[in-house]
Amino acid sequence: MSELDLTFRQRLGWIAHVFKAATQNHHPELERLFAPMIAKDAVIADVGAHAGQFAKIFARLAPQGHVYAFEPSSYALSVLPHTLGWNGMKHVTIEPYGLSDAPGSFTMSTPLKRGRAEVGFGLAHLGTDDDKRPMRVETIEVRTLDSFAEDRKLARLDFLKADVEGWEARMLQGGQGALARFKPTLFLEIVESSLARAGSTSADIFDLLSAIGYRARKLNLDATFSDVDGFAGDSDYLFVAGGA
């Protein structure tokens, strides 16, 4: 952990983050929703894997498949292997970089909370921002989904979840070939204010995906989906190829 350069209080917070990530299971309602969509041998991309809560869900649903967990944050990358190791999830591969519309590098900012005592790594983001909180700043690598699919020689990609604090449109733009070829089901967080940090809008996402045959469903507060023709407010959205 020395490379993280944490204060004593932040190190205590890191221990708490590892323990919670390894032992707690979040989003049980989403696991039930995803179950009919994910085959036991599915290939899944978890983009913005954070501490691994979604990776755990996907690994349980696809025990004979494979999960690729994309995470560029050094803090999250120090937590994620403990989460997966504790739960014995050997069919999850950590990809220690972000996905964007072109390969390169960006500055990632991670807010410090509670008087700098806690690293708010769930809010780590790229792009411009007017957040006045103190930040941990680091340079991270980004690649494209298309280059990943080529490098890994993927024969299929069945499901992709992305929660990347506004970089969702940029990620999709760099994966248009893979999306058109594999037509994975997509589960995306779409928040206009976050997208603005990357110079994107929700329309960029809906226009790109509708052009290659996707239809959208918005996640409701009662853990159901409603069909929508376009952006219907900040939320998580499910995109299904062909409107199935």
Whole-number pLDDT of residue 2: 38
Q: How many CA atoms lie within 13 A of 20 on its CB side?
A: 9
Query: For 86-133, what is each residue's pLDDT tens digit?
Result: 999 999 999 999 999 999 999 999 989 877 778 888 888 888 777 778
Whole-number pLDDT of residue 116: 77
| Confidence tier at 3 by pLDDT (50, 70, 90) | low
Residue 224 has pLDDT above 70, yes or no: yes
Looking at the 3D structure of the chain, how many domains does it have? 1
Q: What is the DSSP letter of 121?
A: G
Q: Domain holding 222: CATH number?
A: 3.40.50.150
CA dist 148 and 136 (Å) reads 28
Whole-prediction pTM:
0.93
Query: For 162-215, what is each residue's pLDDT tens digit?
Result: 999 999 999 999 999 999 999 999 999 999 999 999 999 999 999 999 999 999
Give the residue numbers spanning the domain of 94: 2-241
Whole-number pLDDT of residue 23: 95
Contact (CB, 8 A) for 185 and 238: yes
CA dist 157 and 200 (Å) reads 25
Residue at token pair 């790594």 = 121
Query: For 33-76, what is each residue's pLDDT tens digit?
Result: 999 999 999 999 999 999 999 999 999 999 999 999 999 999 99
Provide the residue type at 59 as one letter.
Answer: A
Whole-number pLDDT of residue 243: 52
| Confidence tier at 1 by pLDDT (50, 70, 90) | very low
